[in-house]
């Protein structure tokens, strides 16, 4: 039974990278994460709503700078509703990404986000700050690389900025399932390797390119993250900030909100219309 379980786990992990050719080997060490502890996000949310930071007290307020929030894998704009409401309270102009569920082909999603970014920038008359949670930060990084003139700042919440698949085995299995659906509904997987580390589309090129030096990048991470391996969030070209809490809870973490207020105030100060 142990041998069977071990074989299943290896099969799941390999499938999560590329179910057709398995060209990309899985990480040397399988990591199952800690998904049960991710239920802590509810406690983190409860602690946020009673903290003065949630009322905008004790933090620097903004001057109306636009902020685009991009949700994580499997999530939609609704997952960042609390954050957008708070951003509005402390003086920013928050915008949803227009994503119902973040499961689409990365290239299509990035192209749609680029159009949204262009619209917001034209309407607001100033560059936009990007906040991406998990997979959402992959898009934020790629957007800043593709259109740095439209981006005032990028803030990543619990995201592997160089290694997008450095995630738990159950999460890899979810990625494999989504990819299988895309395989049955489109030929993009066969053509471009969507949802694999071998993706050859425009998104992959922008994501892997050198990050523009003129765009401030902050990576907020937790060593208690049960979904994304925290070391993947620490890169040399970002200002890396450690907090405590779960992966899901980064969207409701009072420590994260305090850091967001400080970072946004600094990064958008010189981006007046």
User: Would you say residue 7 lies in a domain?
Assistant: no
Q: What is the pLDDT of residues 51-101, one digit of tens each?
A: 999 999 999 999 999 999 999 999 999 999 999 999 999 999 999 999 999
> Is 191 part of any domain?
no
- What CATH number does the domain containing 133 carry? 3.40.50.1820
Tokens of 197: 């580390």
Asked if 95 and 66 touch (Cβ cutoff 8 Å), the reply is yes
**pLDDT classification of 185: cutoffs 50, 70, 90:** low
Beta sheet of 151-157, edge-to-edge order: 93-96, 66-70, 128-133, 151-157, 217-222, 239-243
Q: For residue 114, is it within any domain? A: yes
Number of domains in the chain: 1
Q: What is the pLDDT of residue 272?
A: 59
For residue 217, what are the contacts with CB-CB under 8 A and spacing of at least 6?
A: 141, 144, 153, 154, 155, 156, 211, 237, 238, 239
| Three-class SS state of 32 | coil
Q: Is residue 138 part of a domain?
A: yes
State the Cα–Cα distance between residues 198 and 107, nearest whole angstrom: 13
Q: How confident is the model at residue 29 (pLDDT cuts 50, 70, 90)?
A: confident
Percent of the chain with pLDDT over 90: 72
Any domain includes 181: no
- The answer to whether 44 touches 253, Cβ cutoff 8 Å, is yes
Nearest-5° Cα angle at 112, 148 to 213: 15
* Domain span holding position 72: 30-164+201-267
Secondary structure class of 19 (helix, strand, coil): coil
Backbone Cα Rg of the chain: 18
Does the global pTM surpass 0.95? no
pLDDT at position 20, please?
34
If you average pLDDT over every residue of the chain, what do you get? 87
């Amino acid at each position: 039974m142990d041998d069977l379980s071990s074989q299943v786990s290896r099969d799941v992990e390999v499938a999560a990278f590329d179910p057709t050719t398995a060209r990309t080997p899985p990480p040397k060490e399988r990591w199952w994460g800690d998904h049960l502890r991710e239920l802590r996000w509810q406690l983190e949310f409860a602690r946020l709503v009673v903290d003065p930071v949630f009322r905008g007290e004790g933090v620097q307020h903004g001057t109306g700078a636009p902020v685009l929030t991009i949700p994580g894998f499997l999530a939609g704009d609704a997952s960042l509703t609390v954050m957008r409401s708070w951003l509005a309270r402390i003086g920013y102009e928050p915008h949803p990404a227009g994503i119902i569920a973040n499961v689409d082909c990365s290239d299509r999603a990035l192209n749609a986000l680029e159009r949204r970014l262009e619209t917001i920038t034209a309407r607001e008359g100033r560059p936009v700050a990007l906040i991406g949670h998990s997979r959402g930060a992959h898009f934020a990084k790629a957007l800043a690389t593709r259109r740095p003139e439209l981006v005032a700042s990028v803030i990543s919440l619990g995201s592997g900025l160089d290694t997008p698949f450095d995630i738990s085995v159950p999460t890899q299995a979810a990625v494999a399932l989504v990819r299988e659906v895309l395989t049955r509904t489109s030929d993009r997987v066969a053509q471009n390797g969507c949802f694999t580390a071998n993706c050859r589309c425009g998104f992959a090129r922008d994501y892997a390119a050198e990050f523009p030096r003129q765009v401030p990048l902050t990576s907020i991470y937790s060593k208690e993250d049960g979904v994304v391996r925290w070391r993947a969030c620490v890169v040399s070209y970002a200002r890396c900030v450690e907090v405590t809490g779960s992966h899901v809870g980064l969207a409701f973490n009072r420590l994260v909100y305090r850091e967001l207020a400080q970072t946004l105030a600094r990064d958008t100060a010189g981006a007046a219309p």
